[in-house]
Chains A and B, each alone.
Chain A
Amino acid sequence: MPVFAVVSMLVFLALRVLPVDPAQMSLPPSATIEQVEAKRIEMGLTKPVWEQYAVWLGSAVRGDFGESAQYRMPTSTLVLQRLPATIELATCALAFAIVFGVAMGLLIFAARGTVLASAGMVVTSVIMALPDFLLALLFILLLGVLMPLFPVNGRLAPGLSVPDLTGFLLVDTLAAGEPRLFLNALSHMALPVLALGLAFSPAIIRVLHSSLVATYQQSYIRQARLRGLSDRSILFGQALKNAILPVVVLVGTQFGGLFGGTLLVELIFSYPGLGNLMLRAMQTVDLNVIMAVALIYCATTLIFNSLADAGVYLLNPRLRS
């Protein structure tokens, strides 16, 4: 909570020092100076900054983030419309990153000492060197243009629509009993999810691998081998539960990066989520929207940090007693 207060204050101050006048922005260009002055007073912009912040905070905690200057509608409505798309994208990307990263980490470790493992490590390093937006462009080129397997634009094919229940397309299409639409939504998500997830996975592979190496030097692994347990049951039954802890911490602390990555990836795929909203808001200096979205990014990071702490706590019995 205190973190949240500090972040909101910082964002608020940063936006207030910008040389733009919210009052002027919210009026048509033809407005007279008197009209702008009146608007300034109406918007409370003549009061001291800390008082403005208090007013903003007061309404923010009630869910009122003011009106979007560009869209002429409440910011909260706007954000809530876009939020599910981004959550869906980020969740799928994270799931892909975890499944792919853990599987690859285990594979490379199980093949340790062979050419396969070194090759896996090289591939991992290559992916690590490519940022998510570059991967997105590469996938568009490879799987969208050269070999057009997946659509590269939006969340659904033009002309299709789904009754809006939750905003999560994968959920809504299934709820509407439309498997065809579900697959269409899924294929639209494929490339952005691949780009975001793949960019995040090398860290998981690396951390899991080195954590497994360290775990295998522990004497309980040696003792398990002396009890005659098979390699497979040593890896899955003994080592993994200990070796996964750093991965949980990594996912929790680095999820913010993946979530932030949606900004550019959404732009590249014209994906109607928070990222695109944020970019538009920045271009048009839509201050209320920028504030609200920034706070969502911040909240997501904090929530995942706490989730990781809880996960480690659950997985590590030594912390529990």
Chain B
Amino acid sequence: MKQQNVLEISGLDVSLPTGDRILSGVDLAIGGGRILGVIGESGAGKSMIGACIADTLPDALAVSAGSIEFDGLPLGSMTRATRRDLLGRDIGFIPQEPMTALNPALTIGQQFGSHLARIGFRWPKERKERTIQLLEDVHLPRSRELLSHYPHQLSGGMLQRVLIAMAFASNPKLVVADEPTTALDVTIQARVAELIARMVETHGASVLFITHDLCLAADLCDEVAVLYAGRIVESGAAETIIGSPAHPYSRCLSLATPTLSGPPRPLLTLPGTMPSALERSVMAGCELAPRCPVAEMRCHTDKPLLASTTTGHRSACHFPERVSAIQAPAEEPQAAAREPGPDVVLRAEGLAKTYIARDWIGRMRRVEALRGLDFEVREGEFVGVVGESGSGKSTLTKLILGLEDVTTGRLDAAGFAGSDRSAATLRALRAQVQLVFQDPQSALNPRRSIGSLVTQSLEVRAERPSRAARSAIARDLLAKVLLPPDVIDRFPDQLSGGQKQRVNIARALCSNPRLLVADEIVSGLDVSVQAQILELLKALREEAAISLLLISHDLAVVRHICDRTVVMFRGEIVEQGPVEEVFGNPRHDYTRALVAAAQGGTSLRKTMSQSQ
């Protein structure tokens, strides 16, 4: 007898009041105890699926067709109250950002207690014992003490464990996990994913695992569905979806993802962006067609439907057999042989930074943020600084940019000593050393046009160029970062995240700096956009002889574009050297842990690199 699916979504449409569809014809099914991964980039509509299940769609959106059956019962025919009653009891949710998902004014014990009270634990003593036990189940140390702690006293990883324990507390049939590891440090990510897998085993729950991370999905899930522009373009067993994808989009995504193993190769960049709900409404053919490397006439006029392929997947493509022909561009020969120049752009010798912190009664405490750093960045060299939160990466950035003074040691940035913090020196330093921020959105003043943002630094110069000259410079800079010339008069809100980050890079290039400091500049971006930015940075190196200090938590990204890497742990450099050497043969325990975490410890990632 065929076992009943815990969740069965068929033909689900979610629409705006205008009729434009955010999700169209989504079919998903999860069997008992299985993990289904839904992979998609931002804007694909993947979070909407969870919102449909929870009945928490934003006001403007509504389910316009299709059905969701939970445990054999159609959710659409239930009253709001009944549906709400399912939440937390039969359906658990693990959020994306554990740091904000717990109430800051209540203790862990209070919040866990109110959840247990709701699911039927009547006595406070019973609730307390059960909470402690559940917290122990997710490997939280000293769980009894945690009860009286407030969320801000716990790390992100610990909070996510608390939330996972809460989600599984009622032995739910289904758990919806929306990007549960994205906001966590690399080494924590793997452990949290592992924990979810183990909880599924012990509690027998089914999981809808929403993620943008192909490799993570491949590691953790039984089945996978790839979502593009509100439509499922491919679904099938997780093991083969990366090894032998049957849809061009899946293939392109995996070719756009930098890897830690296998030979280094350039990333495939998909042109353009995902069409919005409004744009999709007027597309007659496949939504991917304008960006697809193997599309032809028929793809633009005729929408492909999900159909079984020879690889055992279901793929919405007219030409699934062409997918394997999609290849990443070949490496340009001179790029591989490139040597850094003789000049040293950035040098740190015994660099240390100590902060004096004061607590509320004024007691002083010394915090050693950086200790004895020795490293250098040569002309035209790309160096990646990796490390987790608290490793001192941000402090290093502040010192390099002269935002704070050096406690001991030497720091030479573009020929300026870090100890000289006079206004004139700092001004000269900042023409030579530029920073690009992590969040492309908040770094741009929304009231300035792109053209004026890009050349803003020229406005404060003594010999300030004329308006016409500035706009000519802006056009040059925008061309350098491959943005179309017509963005010059637009405003930041009219650009996508990737385009905004290009504007930020163009802006940093305005003063012809020798060193670019890039703080996690691709971590907020989707895989395909990340590939575009990384390839852009590589191209800039060929052209402008610029040096880059890339601060990142993503080892694969660092491996992809950097020559050397510096691994930081608790304010110290634990290892440094050429990327292939450090990541291929890590010596320090911490580097090993980082590499292991990034590889996910499974064979699937190897399959991925072999297939390419």
Q: Which of B103, B107, B150 contacts A238 (CB 8 A)?
A: B103
Taking the complex as formed, is A179 at the interface, i.e. its CB lies under 8 A from any CB of chain B?
no
**B150, A219: Cβ atoms closer than 8 Å:** no
Taking the complex as formed, is A224 at the interface, i.e. its CB lies under 8 A from any CB of chain B?
yes
Q: Which of A218, A220, A228, A321 contacts B86 (CB 8 A)?
A: A228
Given A227-B166, A318-B152, check contact A219 B100 (CB 8 Å): yes
Note all chain B residues with C-beta closer than 8 A to A237.
114
- The count of residues in chain A whose C-beta lies closer than 8 Å to any C-beta of chain B is 22
A223 CA / B150 CA spacing, docked (Å): 16
A95 CA / B56 CA spacing, docked (Å): 38
Note all chain A residues with C-beta closer than 8 A to B153.
321
Note all chain B residues with C-beta closer than 8 A to A225.
54, 56, 84, 87
A317 CA / B95 CA spacing, docked (Å): 23
**B88, A316: Cβ atoms closer than 8 Å:** no
A223 CA / B163 CA spacing, docked (Å): 10
**A224, B103: Cβ atoms closer than 8 Å:** yes
Given A219-B97, A225-B87, A229-B88, check contact A318 B56 (CB 8 Å): no
Given A223-B95, A317-B152, A321-B150, check contact A229 B103 (CB 8 Å): no
**B102, A228: Cβ atoms closer than 8 Å:** no
Note all chain B residues with C-beta closer than 8 A to A224.
103
Interface string of A28-46 (1 = CB under 8 A from B): 0000000000000000000
Taking the complex as formed, is A59 at the interface, i.e. its CB lies under 8 A from any CB of chain B?
no
Q: In the complex, how many angstroms separate the beta carbon of B211 from the nearest chain A beta carbon? A: 18
Note all chain A residues with C-beta closer than 8 A to B54.
225-226
**B87, A220: Cβ atoms closer than 8 Å:** no
Taking the complex as formed, is B105 at the interface, i.e. its CB lies under 8 A from any CB of chain A?
yes
Q: Which of A220, A228, A230, A315 contacts B103 (CB 8 A)?
A: A220
**A317, B118: Cβ atoms closer than 8 Å:** no
**A227, B93: Cβ atoms closer than 8 Å:** yes
Scan residues 68-119 of chain B and give those whose CB is less than 8 A from a CB of chain A: 84-89, 93, 95, 97, 100-107, 114-115, 118
Taking the complex as formed, is A270 at the interface, i.e. its CB lies under 8 A from any CB of chain B?
no
Given A223-B95, A225-B56, A321-B152, check contact A242 B104 (CB 8 Å): yes
Scan residues 224-270 of chain A and give those whose CB is less than 8 A from a CB of chain B: 224-230, 233, 237-238, 241-242
Note all chain B residues with C-beta closer than 8 A to A47.
none
A144 CA / B231 CA spacing, docked (Å): 70
A121 CA / B153 CA spacing, docked (Å): 39
Scan residues 138-155 of chain B and give those whose CB is less than 8 A from a CB of chain A: 150, 152-153
**CB-nearest residue of chain B to A229:** B118
**A220, B56: Cβ atoms closer than 8 Å:** no
Q: In the complex, how many angstroms separate the beta carbon of B166 from the nearest chain A beta carbon? A: 7
**B103, A242: Cβ atoms closer than 8 Å:** yes
Given A316-B105, A321-B150, A321-B153, check contact A220 B100 (CB 8 Å): yes
Given A223-B95, A321-B152, check contact A228 B100 (CB 8 Å): no
**A242, B105: Cβ atoms closer than 8 Å:** yes
Note all chain B residues with C-beta closer than 8 A to A317.
104-105, 107, 150, 152
A318 CA / B100 CA spacing, docked (Å): 13
Note all chain B residues with C-beta closer than 8 A to A223.
93, 95, 101-102, 163
**CB-nearest residue of chain A to B114:** A237
Q: Which of A228, A242, A316, A321 contacts B85 (CB 8 A)?
A: A228
Q: In the complex, how many angstroms separate the beta carbon of A195 from the nearest chain B beta carbon? A: 34
Interface string of B357-385 (1 = CB under 8 A from A): 00000000000000000000000000000
Q: In the complex, how many angstroms separate the beta carbon of B158 from the nearest chain A beta carbon? A: 15
**B105, A241: Cβ atoms closer than 8 Å:** yes
Top 7 A-B residue pairs of the complex, sorted by shortest distance between their CB atoms: A228-B88, A228-B87, A227-B88, A226-B93, A317-B150, A241-B105, A223-B101
> Which A residues lie at the B interface, using CB under 8 A?
218-220, 222-230, 233, 237-238, 241-242, 315-318, 321
Q: Would you give 10 A-B contacts (Cβ < 8 Å), ordered by A?
A: A219-B97, A219-B100, A220-B103, A222-B56, A225-B56, A227-B87, A228-B118, A233-B114, A241-B103, A317-B150
Beyond the given pairs A225-B87, A226-B87, 11 more chain A to chain B contacts, judged by CB atoms under 8 angstroms and listed by A's residue number, are: A219-B97, A223-B101, A223-B163, A225-B56, A226-B88, A227-B87, A227-B88, A238-B103, A238-B106, A242-B104, A315-B105
